[in-house]
Amino acid sequence: AQTVTQSQPEMSVQEAETVTLSCTYDTSESDYYLFWYKQPPSRQMILVIRQEAYKQQNATENRFSVNFQKAAKSFSLKISDSQLGDAAMYFCAYSSYSGGGADGLTFGKGTHLIIQP
């Protein structure tokens, strides 16, 4: 079974600064997807960024980028120019590529990100 570990229960950053959220995972598979989801106080789950394991290039989405280290099984999220609207819970998640991720997502426990004005 796969596991996802987020070792930072809470992080705090000044507005406009850069912050990195950590995620490690354990799997015996070679092909998989990794995700970062954002959950603001509205509790909606919002996809921030996705990484396919077979791609060496790190995914980026505007101010959000990842550092994907396959050998180390590490998948960190970097948020540049932090904004007040970035304040939320962030979840790292894993999905198996085989079977198209049919058996769902495995989530980490989450990191609560606080943005200091």
Q: Which residues bind another protein (CB under 8 A)?
A: 4, 6, 9, 33, 35, 43-45, 47, 50, 91, 95-97, 99-110
Nearer to another protein, 79 or 110 (CB): 110
Tokens 């077979």 locate to: 54
Q: How far is the CB of 97 from another protein (least distance, A)?
A: 7
Instruction: Give me the sign of the Cα torsion angle 84, 85, 89, 93.
Output: negative
SS3 call for 3: strand
Q: How far is the CB of 9 from another protein (least distance, A)?
A: 7
Instruction: Give me the sign of the Cα torsion angle 72, 8, 5, 97.
Output: negative
Q: Which two tokens stand for residue 8?
A: 């930072």
Q: What is the Cα–Cα distance from 38 to 30, expressed in whole angstroms?
A: 26
Tokens 């992080």 locate to: 11
Q: How far is the CB of 22 from another protein (least distance, A)?
A: 15
Q: How far is the CB of 20 from another protein (least distance, A)?
A: 19
